[in-house]
């Protein structure tokens, strides 16, 4: 199961703000849980799909998530859909017949 992390200026304010979670969506708690999973996986990103919404920039991305592939909405929508469906853009060709090595004495 993938986790889409929607990054916006409001998200940054919600997770890094000093006050309580005003939206009652438990944003800080969820953010801490996905950060813990990221760390437990050895900082390898298997499930998180960070999406930068319009108005957001790299400064709105949490530091621990900046080393992963980011998608910009709507510019990267086709790449994002490929990621969500776990499909590859380029299909690797199947290997043909193996090479034959012939040795002839001189």
pLDDT in tens, the chain (106 residues): 899 999 999 888 888 877 776 665 788 889 999 999 999 988 888 889 999 999 999 999 998 999 899 999 999 999 999 999 988 888 777 777 777 778 888 8
Q: Which pLDDT does position 89 carry in this prediction?
A: 83
Q: Are 40 and 86 in contact (CB under 8 A)?
A: no
Compute and round to an integer the Cα radius of gyration of the chain. 21
Q: Within a domain: residue 21? A: no
Segments forming the whole domain that contains residue 65:
1-12+45-87
Q: Are 61 and 70 in contact (CB under 8 A)?
A: yes
Provide the whole-model pTM: 0.75
Cα(76)–Cα(66) distance, integer angstroms: 17
Q: Which pLDDT does position 22 carry in this prediction?
A: 65
Q: Which pLDDT does position 57 carry in this prediction?
A: 93
Cα(54)–Cα(75) distance, integer angstroms: 10
Q: Within a domain: residue 80? A: yes
Q: Which pLDDT does position 24 carry in this prediction?
A: 59
Structurally, how many domains does the chain consist of? 1
Q: Within a domain: residue 53? A: yes
Give the E-state strand segments of 1-106 in sequence order.
3-7, 48-52, 71-72
């Amino acid at each position: 199961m993938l986790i889409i992390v929607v990054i916006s200026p409001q998200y940054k304010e919600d997770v890094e703000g000093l006050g309580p979670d005003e939206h009652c969506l438990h944003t800080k708690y969820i953010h801490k849980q996905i950060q813990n999973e990221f760390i437990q996986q050895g900082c390898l990103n298997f499930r998180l799909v960070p999406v930068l919404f319009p108005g957001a920039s790299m400064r709105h991305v949490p530091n621990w998530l900046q080393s992963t592939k980011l998608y910009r909405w709507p510019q990267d929508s086709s790449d994002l859909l490929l990621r969500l469906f776990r499909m590859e853009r380029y299909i690797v060709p199947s290997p043909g017949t193996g090479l034959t090595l012939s040795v002839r004495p001189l």
